[in-house]
Structure 1
Amino acid sequence: MTNTSTLARDGGRRASAPGRRRADRPVRRTRLPVWSIPYILLIPGLVVIGALLLYPMVQVGIMAFQKVGLVQISGKKPATWVGTENFEKIFDNEIFWSALRNTVVFAVIAVSLTLIVGTAVGVLLNKLGRKMSTFVVVGIMFAWAVPPVAQGIIWRWLFDAEAGVINWALNLLPDWLSSALFGRATWTDEPWLNDAWSIYMVLIITVVWASFPFIAVSVLAGLRGIPAELYEAAKVDGSSAWRTFWKITFPLLKPVFAVLTVLSIIWDFKVFSQLYVLMGGPANREAFNLSIFSYAEAFRSPPKMGSGAAIAVVLTVILLVVTAVYVRQLVKQEEM
């Protein structure tokens, strides 16, 4: 019995000894530096951005210095390098300066109105109860979710000369009131989408209608983060609503307004789909903006993709300059 138990104990030790040696053996693990982990996680996103954004931008930049026409597109001849010839041609073209003026004026008006309307709606939403605010937010976000082409179709139908709702509604006004407000009594067959100024009026309405919900929801989110004690103190001091907005709301939401302004500038400078639909294609040259002008040069017969790419490069440079100047001013204000 003693020998059996001793052997059993020895055998147990011998059987378990290799297991202990394997458990005690240190496991080699390759560890990455902590600082490299965020950069590694960014690689998939950078690859997607490079494939979808950077590569096309580089190609457009190269094409702006080349002659790319129908012969080059068909592959019969390679694209030829022409230097700055494309830029010289578009700068000598009167349509370019007209399109640039239309782009800048439209962007200034549309961005201003979008921010004003969106901020006003955001402040009003903050005054509503939680349930009613949620209901209104869901309702206005439907407008923001409408695709740009569908926006153009909706408002082109509303302002249609023959079957448009706008002409029908204006004709319902009494003649004396319509004459006093607009200088005319009848609106039958009014061609809103023939002249450049009326096209851009409709375009401004379209863009503001579709863009202000995003501004309103963003402002509402910022207002929800402001302590209520500040408004209570201002109310006790007898501050008016206008003074409270400029002394409390606006300074605290300045970072939000900065981001919204930059995004609105970028979006409104390069509006294309809505204007294309409202115009019915690149037909009215007086109503061109830089995006439509670039499209017309690149794809309308005879196609001149080098000139179209040059216009796109000019538009991109303008956006970068405007955004950089605006952001720099904001940084200076924050430092002061």
Structure 2
Amino acid sequence: MTTVEPALETAPSAVEGERLTAPPGPDASRARRRRGGLTPYTLLTPAMIVLALIVGWPLLQLIVTSFQRFGRAQVFGAPPEWVWFENYADVLSDPVFYGVLARTLIFSGVCVVVTMLLGTLIALMMMRLPKGFRLLLSVGMLLAWAMPALTATVVWGWMFDTAYGVVNHVLVNWFGLEQYFQHSWLIDPLSFFFVAGIIIVWGAIPFVAFTLYAGLTQVPDEVLEAAQLDGAGGFKRFRLIVFPFLKPIFLIVTILQLIWDLRVFTQVFALQDIGGIRALTNTLGVYIYQTSIAGGDFGQGGAIAVITAVLLMSISIYYVRQVTKEEEL
């Protein structure tokens, strides 16, 4: 009895001591974060140096060039003349720039909306398809995603060709639309951007569909089944359960698509070579090329590029902030 009583007497005090222990405060969590010391920064240093050389140095040169009068003579060795903000003033006072900017924003916005809508529908369809059909659809989308942008543009340009395009052939011979006999899709700016939008959306849908499909597989089935038993239809389940659950993924994918579509170049430039009118179909990427490389005014082209970079950087900062908020939650 004497050997047991001390244990019985000390046990409550130990339990009471544990109950009186306060949970670790924010200072303890901060100390745990700092426990790594300089090791994370040391490991990141090589990558930061490479990133500064690959991205930082060309960006610095671009900014310097935007403050200079830099033409073809300077390319061959003539010293550039510093004009400071004159290039920016010329760009921001040019109505052509605002027309190109508005055209780019509208075109990118439409492409993003259509891409997100179709990508979401395909991701939902992949959840319902049998395994064999889902695999076949995945392979097809991977092939579309892996195809180079220039190759895809050339193929789609053949399909919309005025004389031999399969699109005109189908519309005339299958649907009896005689007005599309040898119809030129690329001359009119509206139909030009319709074709360019098809190419861009076609190449971007696989990324959206695969990303959202991966998120859909993580939605709890029991929550969806409970909502279905309560009488919620498919659209209501998506609006009240699926979309809130995948909201961070939708936000990130949408911002990435907007950034990529704002800087699109290959598809528009290649279609212009096939038959489009450059002055009526330029987007920001093509306009920078036309001003600097083709026009020989690298200073003004650099100013347009810096303005575009600021626009994309603003969207990127918003994207990073949203990602940081989601990680904190």
Question: Normalising by structure 2, what TM-score?
Answer: 0.83
1:3 aligns with none
CA distance in 2, matches of 1:334, 1:288: 39
Matched residues in 2 for 1:90 and 1:111: separation?
27
1:327 positional shift: 6.6
Residue 135, structure 1, aligned to residue 128, structure 2: no
Tell whether 2:162 aligns with 1:169.
no
Partner of 2:155: 154
AA at the equivalent of 1:296: Q
CA deviations over 1:43-88 (Å, ceiling 9, x no partner) = 232222222222211211111111110111001x222211111111
Shift of residue 100 of structure 1? Answer: 0.6
CA deviations on 1:289-325 (whole Å, 9 max, x unpaired) are 1111110010114x00011111111111122234445
Q: Distance in 1 between matches of 2:164 and 2:180?
A: 12
What code does the residue aligned with 2:66 have? A
Deviation at 1:333, TM superposition (A): 10
Q: For residue 37 of structure 1, what is the aligned residue in structure 2? A: 39
Distance 1:86 1:283, change over 3 A: farther
Query: Match of 1:155, as an amino acid?
Result: W
Q: What displacement does 1:172 show?
A: 1.7
User: Who is 2:287 aligned against?
Assistant: 293
Give the structure 2 partner of residue 46 of structure 1.
48
Q: Which amino acid aligns with 2:285?
A: S
Q: CA deviation at 1:335?
A: 9.9
Question: In the TM superposition, what is the alpha-carbon distance from 1:156 to its structure 2 partner?
Answer: 1.2
Report the Cα distance in structure 2 between the residues aligned to 1:314 and 1:143, rounded to whole angstroms: 32
Equivalent residue for 2:312? Answer: 319
Q: Does the CA contact (< 8 Å) of 2:187 and 2:277 recur in 1?
A: no
Counting only pairs closer than 5 Å after superposition, residues 1-336 of structure 1 correspond to structure 2 as: 34-75=36-77, 77-175=78-176, 178=177, 185-280=178-273, 284-301=278-295, 303-324=296-317
CA, structure 1 residues 54+333, in 2 after alignment: closer, same or farther (shift >3 Å)? closer
- Evaluate the alpha carbon distance shift between residue 199 and residue 283 of structure 1 in structure 2; reply closer, same or farther with a 3 A threshold: closer
Deviations 1:3-28 (A, max 9, x none): xxxxxxxxxxxxxxxxxxxxxxxxxx
Residue identity in the other structure for 1:255 = P
Q: State how far apart, in whole Å, the 2-side matches of 1:266 and 1:324 are.
A: 11
Whole-angstrom distance in 1 between the partners of 2:201 and 2:145: 10
The one-letter code of the counterpart of 1:299 is I
Letter in 1 for 2:181: T
Letter in 1 for 2:284: L
Contact 1:95/1:285 (8 A) holds in 2: no
Name the CA distance, whole Å, in 2 between partners of 1:38 and 1:329: 23
Change (3 A) 1:330 1:45: closer
Provide the secondary structure at the position in 2 that maps to 1:280. helix
- Aligned pair count reads 294
Native 8 Å contact 1:95 1:286 kept in 2: no
Indicate conservation of the 8 Å contact 1:258/1:330, yes or no.
Answer: no
CA drift at 1:130: 3.4
1:94 CA drift (Å): 2.5
Task: Measure, in 2, the Cα distance between the counterparts of 1:321 and 1:327.
Answer: 10
Match of 2:16 in 1: none
Shift of 1:198: 1.3
Give the match's secondary structure for 2:191. helix
Report deviation, 1:332: 8.5
Q: CA RMSD in A?
A: 2.3
Moved more, 199-208 or 128-137: 128-137
Report which of the two structures shows the higher radius of gyration computed on alpha carbons.
Answer: 1
| 2:252–2:319 CA contact under 8 A, matched in 1 | no
Tell me the distance in 1 between the aligned counterparts of 2:50 and 2:154. 32
